Amino acid sequence: MTTLLVIAKEPRPGRVKTRLTPPFTPGQAAGLAEAALADTLHAVAATPAARRVLVLDGAPGPWLPPGFEVVAQCAGGLDERLAEAFARCSGPALLIGMDTPQVTPELLTVDFADGDAWFGPAEDGGFWALGLACPDPALLRGVPMSTPVTGAVQRERLVAAGLRVRDLPRLRDVDTAADAHAVAALAPRGRFAARLARCPAAGGPVTGPVARPAGPR
């Protein structure tokens, strides 16, 4: 079975989702990041897997469901950190980030029987998922990250290595306020949508308890 990897940052104000400020405050942005991460982890928890690994920059919190190994991210650029995550796997692995809370177990249930790699493009030009039947860190090292051509370069790297690449649906990452509203509309019953509903449009302080759906989506 496949190892599922989630690479993420601890959702602390000022350290995550800084492009959401403004209109949201750093605290609200961190709350949205936490909800996105929780939705992602619960989708992974509901997906059949050999192992579930959270590759984390920071410390785990109450948002972490049971059944996950937690390992620290290595130093270096994002390409190095992704490469190191795959280097820790000895069999088929699928890696995703924390920016697509609309992800579902159905999307994450991949089969490597007739392909060597799975590639999930993101609307911003990056990628939200990368799966490798035989994890090779060299396939990621040196790929320019966080650019409009990141996804194209990464996919071409796979093709140039002679891999049979299968594509997952294109998804939208949550980077901006517009992204947040669009993604929440795609998964209106998730933790992320509930958290966003508690954030005033102007990004002012949130009052009252935050609604949290019970259990995975």
Identify the residue with better confidence: 205 or 100: 100
Q: What's the pLDDT tens digit per position in 35-48?
A: 999 999 999 999 99
User: Do residues 51 and 3 touch, judged by C-beta distance below 8 A?
Assistant: yes
| Rg of the chain over all Cα atoms, to the nearest angstrom | 17
Q: State the residue for tokens 């994450």.
A: 108
Q: Is the peptide bond before 101 cis (omega within 30 degrees of 0)?
A: no
Helix (H, G, I), strand (E, B) or coil at 133: coil
- For the domain spanning 3-197, the CATH number is 3.90.550.10
d(CA 77, CA 126): 15
Q: What is the dihedral of CA 14, 19, 21, 24, to 10 degrees?
A: -110
Report helix, strand or coil for 92.
coil
The answer for 102, left when phi > 0, alpha when psi is -120 to 50, beta otherwise, is: alpha
| Torsion sign, CA atoms 93, 159, 99, 72 | positive
Strand partners, 118: 131, 166
- 109-113: long-range pairs with CB below 8 Å, 24+: 109/47, 109/48, 110/2, 110/166, 110/168, 112/2
The string of pLDDT tens digits covering residues 155-194 is 999 999 999 999 999 999 999 999 999 999 999 999 999 9
Tens of pLDDT, residue by residue over 95-122, are 999 999 999 999 999 999 989 999 999 9
User: Smallest Cα–Cα separation from 85: which of 70, 98, 99, 100?
Assistant: 70
pLDDT of 216 over the 50 cut? no
